[in-house]
Amino acid sequence: MNRPVVTVVGLGPGPLGLVTQETRDAIAGATTRFVRTTRHPSAALVGDAISFDDEYERHDTFAEVYAAIATRVSEAALRDGSALYAVPGSPGVLEDVVQRLLADTRLDVRVMSAVSFLDLAWLRLGIDPVNHSVRLVDAHRFAEVAADDCGPFLVAQCHADWVLSEVKLAHDTARGDEPVVVLHHLGLPDEQVVTTTWDDIDRLERAHGVVADHLTSIYIAQLAEPIAGEMARLHRLARTLREQCPWDREQTHASLVRYLIEETYEVVDALNALDADDPTTDDALIEELGDLLYQIEFHTTIAEQEGRFSLADVARATHDKLVRRHPHVFGDTSATTAGDVVKTWDEIKQAERAERATRTTSATRANSKPRHATDEPDFFAGVARAAPSLSLAQKLQKRAAEVGFDWPDVAGATAKLTEEIAELHDATQTGDPDAVRMELGDVLFSVVNVARKLGLDAETALRQASDKFVVRFTRVQQLATQRGLDLTNCDLAQLDALWDDAKRELA
């Protein structure tokens, strides 16, 4: 029994003149015709063929799209006795559906030769791919396929900035100035072949006016070090979850804030639990750092989908800031002590804040209503207002101290604390809860000031005091149990005695 015939033809890289006569004849003789996508310059040659563009809209992954296309072509061939399937480029290059059809033993699949985009790419690059040992890589699999290799690579399927961002993230040790050749719309009237750098591959429109699409590829002649793909794998996972998980799809920057804070505190707990003599305590830190890293990845994935920025932009900004703030390492400034480093760091931060304020003021003048005399830049810009209150108070005080608004020594801060405690006492006599709350806040703010003048971190000091309280009160409970006492029935004198005993034992 004869098997149904599926004829697979290629529409070439774009120009109509590169479509073979054999392909044109096959199209003319077919009655059941399909084309993978109409988004190709030569797609019109297939006439009234059924397009599979709807499958791209219907599915979340390319694997699902290709499986659906193969099913529809095979079912049509089994029903009608034959079918023609036309693909962009060559059927033998990066065509998963063709491989699926060839594996279907029910069909007689006949694949016709066609010109590939590769033929034009080698001509434009002026290289022989065999002599240069070029690896052809799908951009979606760059991290895994290119692992442990330095190139050269011709990377295809670079159809969007986010895909190019994934390629960039796969090479986390890149200098950034490695040359990359962009091959866009080869053979078409709007062809562009431009040389850019590794840093700019996911910013092609901004840097070179190239809007990446399904006819865009990049050539990477050489990378200094092999590809490291773990960050790219995590980035790909974040995008998959964002696209396919109902919970992930609903999240916004605002809804994720609570998780970011929670994960940060869990990292702190894991750090505090580290034991230099017990390597297994690293496991908890690895897990919590991973959870915090994923929060960062989640936020950048949302921003990337909104077309605002990517994780590569975040990494670049952080890298450049650290280089700027370490002139004693990367410049000609000298720093021999940690104190010298902190002094230089703070000076650079102040200069950056002043520059940022100037830019903000200029933008305000250009884009909004006229400024008033009171519209001064925020003096405390850059201080995170969502920080824990003790840390926030300490940072605000430190910022004010930069312009001389500060006690000369701890004595002044201590005297102010005594004054605020007296005012709190007076407020408690009034019975006004708002006044008490305000004065209590002033006392706490003054305590932070004392800590700062002593060179201590108030947040850490209070956390240590809290930990000490937990240990002591746990011992109080143990002593009460040993002595047959019920804490809930003990009077204050008994509780004080238990506390003193616990304190003495643990001293």
CB 109 within 8 A of CB 85: no
Does residue 410 form part of some domain? yes
* Amino acid occupying residue 156: A
Identity of the residue numbered 403: V
Measure the CA–CA gap between 77 and 4, rounded to whole angstroms: 6
Q: Which of 237, 234, 262 is nearest to 248 (CA)?
A: 237
Inter-residue contact 228 to 171 (CB < 8 Å): yes
Same domain? For 48 and 82 the reply is: yes
- Same-domain check for residues 108 and 183: no
Query: Does residue 52 lie in a domain region?
Result: yes
In eight-state DSSP terms, residue 227 is B
The whole-number pLDDT of residue 371 equals: 46
In a domain, 98, yes or no: yes
Is 0.85 topped by the overall pTM? Answer: no
287 in any annotated domain: no
Written as one letter, the residue type at 488 is T
Q: What domain range includes position 29?
A: 5-115
Contact residues for 42 (Cβ-Cβ < 8 A; gap 6+): 11, 12, 14, 15, 16, 19, 88
What is the C-alpha to C-alpha distance for residues 491 and 507, in angstroms, rounded to an integer?
A: 24
What's the angle, vertex CA 322, arms to CA 316 and CA 328, rounded to 5? 140
- Residue 337 domain-assigned (yes or no): no
Residue 258 lies in a domain: no
- Closest by CA to 289, choosing from 314, 265, 256, is 265
Q: How many CB atoms are closer than 10 A to CB 96?
A: 15
> Average pLDDT per run of 10 along the chain, which is 507 residues long?
90 92 94 92 92 88 90 94 94 90 94 92 93 89 75 90 85 81 93 92 87 92 70 82 91 90 88 89 93 94 87 84 90 86 84 71 56 55 75 85 86 93 92 91 93 89 88 91 90 90 88
| 468 in the same domain as 401 | no
Domain assignment present for residue 291? The answer is: no
Cα–Cα distances (Å) from 245 to 147, 166, 223, 237, 249, in that order, read 28, 20, 35, 11, 6
> Which residues are 136's β-sheet partners?
154
pLDDT of residue 373: 43
Q: Identify whether residues 87 and 142 lie together within a single domain.
A: no
- Do 89 and 135 lie in a common domain? no
Domain match, 407 and 479 both: no
- Close Cβ partners of 262 (under 8 Å, ≥ 6 residues apart): none
Cis preceding linkage at 152, omega within 30: yes
Distance of CA 327 to the CA centre of its chain: 27
Q: Which two tokens stand for residue 119?
A: 């033929």
Picking from 115, 149, 166, the residue at the C-terminal end of a domain is 115
| Cα–Cα nearest to 4, from 75, 73, 72, 81 | 81
Give the span between the Cα atoms of 65 and 54, in whole angstroms: 9
Tally of domains within the chain: 4
For residues 57 and 156, state if they share a domain: no
**Residue 336 covered by a domain:** no
Read off the CATH number of the domain in which 79 is found.
3.40.1010.10
Q: Which residues contact 18 (CB under 8 A, 6 or more apart)?
A: 12, 115, 187
Same domain, 160 and 105: no
What pLDDT does 26 receive?
A: 94
The answer on 125 and 40 residing in a single domain is: no
Tokens linked to 374: 């009171």
Task: Collapse the DSSP code of 483 into the 3-class scheme (helix H, G, I; strand E, B; otherwise coil) and give the result.
Answer: coil
Q: What are phi and psi of 348, to 5 degrees?
A: -65, -40
**Best CA proximity match to 417, nearest among 474, 366, 458, 375:** 458
CATH classification of the domain holding 153: 3.30.950.10
Domain boundary pick from 90, 115, 140: 115
Query: What is the model's pLDDT at position 1?
Result: 62
* Together in a domain, 144 and 198: yes
Question: Distance between CA 21 and CA 384 in Å, rounded?
Answer: 67
**What is the distance between the alpha carbons of residues 61 and 416, in angstroms, rounded to a whole number?**
64
**C-alpha 451: how far from its chain's center?**
36
Please choose, from the candidates 115, 91, 117, the residue with its C-alpha nearest in 3D space to the C-alpha of residue 6: 91
**The domain boundary residue, chosen from 200, 230, 260:** 230
Strand partners, 86: 9, 35
Whole-number pLDDT of residue 226 = 62
| Angle CA 268–274–279, to nearest 5 | 140
**Are 123 and 224 within one domain?**
yes
E strand residue ranges, 158-304: 179-184, 192-197, 216-220
The beta strand positions in 150-258, using DSSP E, are: 153-156, 179-184, 192-197, 216-220
Angle between helices 161-169 and 230-244 (to 10 degrees): 150
Q: Are residues 101 and 127 in the same domain?
A: no
